[in-house]
Amino acid sequence: MKTISLALRNLLRNRRRSLVTLLAMMIGLGAILIFGGYSRNSIYAMQTGYVQLHGHLQIQHKNYFLYGSGNPAAYGIADYQRIIDVVKQDPVLAPMLTVVTPKLQLGGIAGNFAAGISKSVIATGIIVKDQNQLRNWDDYGSASYSPKFALTGTSPDAVIIGTGVARMLQLCAPLHVSDCGEQAAPEAPQIPANAASLPADIVSLSDQERGESKVSSKTAIEMLAANLHGAPNVASLTVVKAENWGLKEFDDNFMIMHLPQAQKLIFGSDQPQVTAIQIQLHHTAQIPAAKARLETLLATSFKGAPLEVLDYETLTPIYGQTIQFFDSVFGFIAILISVIVLFMVGNTMSMAVVERTTEIGTLRAIGQRRGGIRRLFICEGMLLGCIGAVLGVLSALLIAYLINHGGLTWTPPGYVYAYPLKVRIWGDPGLIFGTAFSLIVVAIISAWWPANRAAKMMIVDALRHV
């Protein structure tokens, strides 16, 4: 205690230099904590978005994730309703579940044949009520501003398309899509010579391309897809809304429809299938237990079925890449601030050693050992680190409070709806204590070299120092 008291008094002898050092440490620690809290919130917001979109886990046909997106018929899950019932009724899984819902992804060609235009698209068939419930998940208080799907309460033939799809199909005016330039109307295609031998749906499709069939709605489109047997199948659809999906590549190709309509396109009168069963849990921390239980159920109740369980991190590789990016930036900032603190504290201690050379010689002359001198200066560095850590944490918490209550929002990559901008420092003891402890260690290391130099001074040289 005597050493600590003496070290504190020595720091107060040159208040200006000590305050400048403390200010640098406080700003450095505050910057690390603010960025750490911001990156933590960003990761939570992205996780919330992906869990709302994909669920925590998905049951898929084996290798569908790698090879099946272009061939849903070959990688479909036929007995999906039984799987859903077993999962919902399982006594281990039931307390963890919020939503269990099927979906079907398919590819095809969408056309606005009143305008003579078509393009390839990727469509997803969903159960709208379940997907709206998926969007309610908010385990981290991110409270996204994601609206309900526009398909809610619509007819079975209703679809939502991306704004890019709407532009390409020349549906900007009826769907109120902005930023649509003028497009030259393409020439209407001619009916093929062998039209009489084509299926009725395709002949009807050709008629509409030539403008010989009346379109019932200004937002009516047709979608052509290959069915289970490889033959073309056509569905008449009504676009209820064009939405911006966030990424241009996605926005230019994506559409959402009701699950029964998607199943009718691919499977017709055959047994309907889906490409995935989405499972959303109450908490992300439940994923390991839920995944292990699902794999057990698939290996017992559905033995022999080529199914697998994938989590949202596997389904969205960009999530892991974003975490790595934030970790690398956080590490770079932490190292940069540590170097600055290292030199600031080292310079302060070096100047103190020079100014107190005569005192050091006097202490050594009256019997103070080298270890005592070294311990005194290291204790001063430690005190600087502790005080700077406390001030840095308090300032970071104050700034975080102002940001969190400022009403600011941000939009994660690939999203169009915003999330509240928060800095998550309070409630994360690992970030607070880990950063504060690291600062104290850096301060002690910074003080060690000047302290060691002071301890090795010759008594005679120190006493005659001017």
pLDDT over 70 at 379, yes or no: yes
Quick one: pLDDT band at residue 211, thresholds 50, 70, 90? very low
Tens of pLDDT, residue by residue over 85-143, are 999 999 999 999 999 999 999 999 999 877 888 889 999 999 999 999 998 898 888 76
* Beta strand spans in 86-245 (E): 97-112, 117-126, 158-162, 220-226, 232-243
CA distance linking residue 448 with residue 350, whole number of Å: 10
pLDDT over 60 at 256, yes or no: yes
- Residue 226 phi/psi, 5-degree rounding, is -85, 130
Q: Comparing 361 with 166, which gets the higher pLDDT?
A: 166
Helix count and strand count (H, E) for the chain = 17, 11
pTM as predicted:
0.79
Q: Comparing 130 with 409, which gets the higher pLDDT?
A: 130
SS3 122: strand
Contact of 75 with 273, CB cutoff 8 Å: no
CA distance linking residue 146 with residue 246, whole number of Å: 13
Quick one: pLDDT band at residue 181, thresholds 50, 70, 90? low
Angle value at C-alpha 455, between 451 and 457, nearest 5 degrees: 120
Quick one: pLDDT band at residue 33, thresholds 50, 70, 90? very high
| Residue bearing tokens 């237990």 | 289
Q: How long, in residues, is the chain?
A: 466
Angle value at C-alpha 455, between 453 and 458, nearest 5 degrees: 90
Quick one: pLDDT band at residue 191, thresholds 50, 70, 90? very low
Per-chain mean pLDDT for the chain: 84
C-alpha dist (Å) from residue 239 to 120, 163, 174, 376 = 16, 11, 10, 77
Q: What is the mean pLDDT of residues 170-183?
A: 77
Q: What is the mean pLDDT of residues 176-181?
A: 74
Q: What is the pLDDT of residue 362?
A: 81
CA distance linking residue 432 with residue 396, whole number of Å: 10
Written as one string, the DSSP assignment of 385-422 is HHHHHHHHHHHHHHHHHHHHTTT-EE--TT-SS-EE--
Question: Which residue type occupies 262?
Answer: A
CA distance linking residue 242 with residue 77, whole number of Å: 30
Evaluate the CA torsion angle 162, 165, 166, 167 in order and state its sign. positive
pLDDT over 70 at 186, yes or no: no
